[in-house]
């Protein structure tokens, strides 16, 4: 895996006559954890897909490393994790993780990359279970392992923990922070949750609506590793309060 960053300039996106994103610039440094935080409908998912080269913007340019984003997609450098894990019900956790690798011609009878990915998400013990035998959090761990097993340079995550209960979500956030530290991947993460954004990110991009744009960029300067007890600290609350103010104050001109 080569670690790559993303640079997007002058991004605009319209669906028919509806302008969803307007004049948006964003940089995601290689190996960083960057969050897109904003209200429903501000264009987070659309921007995530554009940054990953999955969707072509109406105007503007996205570079991944030194190449246009679509080349990174063709080279399978992009991993995607969505809110719903979408596992194949008749395949075990291990088989679900192995699936994309076999489609890409990388699969072997005993594939170490699959076992390593399951290990990384803490599911080695459940590799032979079927999706109906997994909790929601475990199923989402499988979908993260499925993306990791392809060893993408960039992981795009679209509200991956949005459907989970608060306790499971905290534990998934800790797991994701340790996966990121262990793999050094570039991660772009979409969330509605201020707490999740502060806990995970190097940088939080706060988005405003109508049209979608970035209204603030906040660097989260909290030491790592970050553990769940951080959630009770004054430092954490300070960042959360500042972000909340950005989200409720009438939005100003884009930055």
Strands 186-191 and 18-28: unpaired
**Closer of 2 and 15 to ligand ATP (Cβ):** 15
6 φ, ψ to 5°?
Answer: -125, 140
Q: Which of residues 37-96 bind ligand ATP (CB under 6 A)?
A: 38, 40-46
183: contact with ligand ATP by CB under 6 A: no
Q: Which of residues 99-118 bind ligand ATP (CB under 6 A)?
A: none
The least CB distance from residue 70 to ligand ATP, in Å, is 18
The least CB distance from residue 110 to ligand ATP, in Å, is 39
In the shown chain, the binding pattern of residues 10 to 29 toward ligand ATP, with x for contact by CB under 6 A and - for none, equals: -----x----x---------
**Closer of 122 and 162 to ligand ATP (Cβ):** 162
**Closer of 2 and 40 to ligand ATP (Cβ):** 40
Q: Are 32 and 5 in contact (CB under 8 A)?
A: yes
**Closer of 48 and 121 to ligand ATP (Cβ):** 48
Q: Are 103 and 121 in contact (CB under 8 A)?
A: no
Closest by CA to 51, choosing from 8, 89, 111, is 8
The least CB distance from residue 192 to ligand ATP, in Å, is 6
* Range 120-155 burial, b when 16+ CB lie within 10 A, else e: bbbbeebbebbbeebeebbbbbbbbbbbbbbbbbbb
CA 113, 118, 122, 127 dihedral sign is negative
- For ligand ATP, the binding residues (CB under 6 A) are 15, 20, 38, 40-46, 192
């Amino acid at each position: 895996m080569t670690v790559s960053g993303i640079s997007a300039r002058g991004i605009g996106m319209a669906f028919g006559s509806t302008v969803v994103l307007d004049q948006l610039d964003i940089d995601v440094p290689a190996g960083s954890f960057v969050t897109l935080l904003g209200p429903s409908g501000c264009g987070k998912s659309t921007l995530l897909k554009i940054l990953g080269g999955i969707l072509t913007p109406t105007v503007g340019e996205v570079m991944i490393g030194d190449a246009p984003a679509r080349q990174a997609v063709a080279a399978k450098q992009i991993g995607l994790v969505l809110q719903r894990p979408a596992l194949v019900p008749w395949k075990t956790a291990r088989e679900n993780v192995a699936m994309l690798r076999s489609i890409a011609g990388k699969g072997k009878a005993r594939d170490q990359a699959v076992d390593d990915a399951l290990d990384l998400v803490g599911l080695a013990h459940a590799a032979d279970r079927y999706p109906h035998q997994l909790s929601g959090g475990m199923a989402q761990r499988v979908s993260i392992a499925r993306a990791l097993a392809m060893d993408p340079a960039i992981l795009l995550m679209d509200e991956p923990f949005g459907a989970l209960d608060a306790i499971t979500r905290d534990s998934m956030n800790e797991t994701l922070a340790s996966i990121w530290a262990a793999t050094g991947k570039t991660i772009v993460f979409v969330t509605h949750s201020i707490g999740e954004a502060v806990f995970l990110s190097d940088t939080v991009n706060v988005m405003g609506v109508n049209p979608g744009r970035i209204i603030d960029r906040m660097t989260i300067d909290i030491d790592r590793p970050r553990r769940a007890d951080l959630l009770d600290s004054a430092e954490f609350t300070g960042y959360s309060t500042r972000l909340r103010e950005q989200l409720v104050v009438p939005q100003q001109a884009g930055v």
